[in-house]
């Protein structure tokens, strides 16, 4: 039987990398809030049109609209890996009220200092999308992409001040959610500082597949 899983974790924790491996191993779709909003807009659903008006204006899409779009999307899925939703207790409650029975919540936990080092050392190639790290995974030639030989850049917001602000916002927003699922006995913490394969195996064990 396919599982319904929520993936939580701070910026730079490696959620995206683990999500790609997990969805293949679990044979379920990786569903993110951004993807759902874009899909609803593209399909021109009633909820998608309403969300589009907010997005065009550069405003945050209200909880009730996001909740509606997520519930609409999940209704046809018998298993999934949810990433980026829920972000608040209200959103978690909306999932429960819609009858979406969550089997497990995986929290990829990493200390802030490690995350800051990871994010501020990131380099990316605008041409082919490859990602490197100044210390952990440097390119063969400094500043040059191994894959397409394009110049590597660092995102403007990958500086320590901005990263700390993002992490503070994440903790303030996510801690109540962590408590919410921990009290329900659904939450498993995974050491995001461990090697990638070790983390993947720990998640597999937690999800029993």
The answer as to whether 119 is a domain residue is no
Does residue 3 have a pLDDT over 90? yes
The answer as to whether 134 is a domain residue is no
As for how many domains the chain has, the answer is: 1
Q: Give the pLDDT confidence of 164-196 residue by residue, as tens digits.
A: 998 998 899 889 999 999 999 999 999 999 998
The answer as to whether 11 is a domain residue is yes
155 included as an active-site residue: yes
The answer as to whether 17 is a domain residue is yes
Q: Give the pLDDT confidence of 76-94 residue by residue, as tens digits.
A: 888 999 998 898 899 999 9
- CATH code of residue 177: 3.40.50.300
122 included as an active-site residue: yes
The answer as to whether 30 is a domain residue is yes
Structural domain containing residue 99: 4-111+168-207
Catalytic residue among 3, 41, 118, 166: 166
pTM above 0.85, yes or no: no
Q: Quote the pLDDT of residue 92.
A: 94
Catalytic residue among 87, 127, 134, 204: 87
The burial class, CB within 10 Å (0-12 / 13-18 / 19+), for 140 is exposed
87 included as an active-site residue: yes
Catalytic residue among 43, 97, 147, 155: 155
Q: Give the pLDDT confidence of 6-23 residue by residue, as tens digits.
A: 999 998 898 888 998 999
The answer as to whether 66 is a domain residue is yes
The answer as to whether 128 is a domain residue is no
The answer as to whether 175 is a domain residue is yes
* Contact assessment for residue 111 and residue 60, using Cβ atoms and an 8 Å cutoff: no
Catalytic residue among 3, 4, 15, 73: 15
């Amino acid at each position: 039987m396919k599982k319904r899983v929520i993936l939580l974790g701070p910026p730079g924790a490696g959620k995206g990398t683990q999500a790609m491996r997990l969805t293949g191993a679990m044979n379920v779709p990786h569903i993110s809030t951004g993807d759902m909003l874009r899909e609803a807009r593209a399909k021109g659903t009633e909820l998608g049109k309403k969300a589009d008006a907010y997005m065009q204006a550069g405003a945050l899409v209200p909880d009730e609209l996001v909740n509606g779009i997520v519930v609409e999307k999940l209704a046809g899925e018998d298993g999934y890996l949810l990433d980026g939703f829920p972000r608040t207790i209200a959103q978690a409650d909306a999932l429960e009220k819609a009858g979406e029975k969550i089997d497990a919540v995986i929290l990829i936990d990493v200390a802030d200092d490690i995350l800051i080092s990871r994010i501020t050392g990131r380099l990316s190639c605008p041409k082919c999308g490859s990602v490197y790290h100044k210390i952990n995974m440097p390119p063969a030639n400094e500043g040059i992409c191994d894959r397409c030989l394009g110049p590597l850049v660092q995102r403007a917001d990958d500086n320590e001040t901005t990263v700390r602000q993002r992490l503070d916002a994440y903790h303030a927003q996510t801690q109540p959610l962590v408590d919410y699922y921990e009290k329900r006995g659904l939450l498993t913490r995974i050491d995001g500082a461990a090697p990638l394969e070790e983390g993947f195996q720990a998640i597999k064990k937690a999800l029993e597949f």
